[in-house]
Amino acid sequence: MRRRLGKAGLAGIFALVIGGAAAAEPVTLLAVGDSLTQGYGLDPDQGLVPQLQAWLTARGAEVTVINAGVSGDTTSGGRARLGWSLTPEVDAVMIALGGNDMLRGQPPAQARANLDAMLAEVKARGLPVALVGLKAPGNYGPDWQAGYDAIWPELGARYGAVVVPDLLAPIAAKTPEARAAEGLMQGDNIHPSARGVGLVVGALGPKVLDLLDLVKPAP
């Protein structure tokens, strides 16, 4: 004998359908960075953001990644433009800056202050954030190097950020001979090739999924 659904039963089913639709609403991730984020020297579909977008989509993540990478940008530049970059549709933020500060020999304290201010602004808006760093070179001395390397874990802990201490770690883990043989870097030996970006995204992607898990559902 077939059972008839009353109004309460229909309302329950309707609520489940609406709830499922809300849960699937796409998330917008703002990726703030420099040339590594922007995709310097690569075809438009081969940079970090498009490859990350493809990686996330392939794993069922309902997300749109906005490329807010500016070639040559420093933490000072990122700090200056963050406010107007945080448009109402942004649900989460990934900050990947500091490499150009290091290349220019700027003091670690200056980069730390800028990133601190950026993280504070993101958190003030109630948005989850990922902080993506780079391993500092040793050419300015051990204290300078240690000052930079401490930024990512310390600020990450302070603001409850998802932390990636070294974006290029998957490439750096290989020997110079392997990097060359696999064609992981561009000719400047600073920016990864499309293949190198793919390797980086394979390690970065799970961290970004952790970040997306922190996004609060729309009311």
Catalytic residue among 35, 73, 91, 193: 35
Residue 12 lies in a domain: no
Residue 11 reports pLDDT greater than 50: no
**Which residue(s) pair with 38 in the sheet?**
none
Output the domain CATH number for residue 103.
3.40.50.1110
Its pTM stands at 0.88
Q: Active-site residue 210, yes or no?
A: no
Q: State residue 24's pLDDT score.
A: 57
Residue 97 lies in a domain: yes
Range of the structural domain that residue 118 is part of: 25-212
Residue 1 lies in a domain: no
Q: Active-site residue 45, yes or no?
A: no
How far is residue 128's CA from residue 212's CA, in Å, rounded to a whole number?
A: 8
Residue 9 lies in a domain: no
Residue 56 reports pLDDT greater than 80: yes
Residue 6 reports pLDDT greater than 70: no
Q: Active-site residue 188, yes or no?
A: yes
Residue 217 lies in a domain: no
The total number of structural domains that make up the chain = 1
pLDDT tens sequence across 75-130: 999 999 999 999 999 999 999 999 999 999 999 999 999 999 999 999 999 999 99
Q: State residue 46's pLDDT score.
A: 97
- Residue 211: closest CA among 98, 58, 35, 61: 61
How far is residue 216's CA from residue 8's CA, in Å, rounded to a whole number?
A: 28
Cα 139 to Cα 73, 102, 146, 166: the distances in Å are 21, 10, 12, 17
- Residue 112: closest CA among 85, 79, 81: 79
pLDDT tens sequence across 185-201: 999 999 999 999 999 99
Residue 121 lies in a domain: yes
Lowest mean pLDDT among 13-27, 59-73, 159-173: 13-27
Residue 155 lies in a domain: yes
Q: How far is CA 206 from the centre of its chain?
A: 11
Residue 3 lies in a domain: no
Catalytic residue among 34, 91, 101, 191: 191
Sorted by sequence, the CB contacts under 8 Å of residue 206 that are 6+ apart come out as none
Strand 27-33: give its sheet, edge to edge. 63-69, 27-33, 92-96, 129-132, 162-164
User: What mean pLDDT is reported for the chain?
Assistant: 91
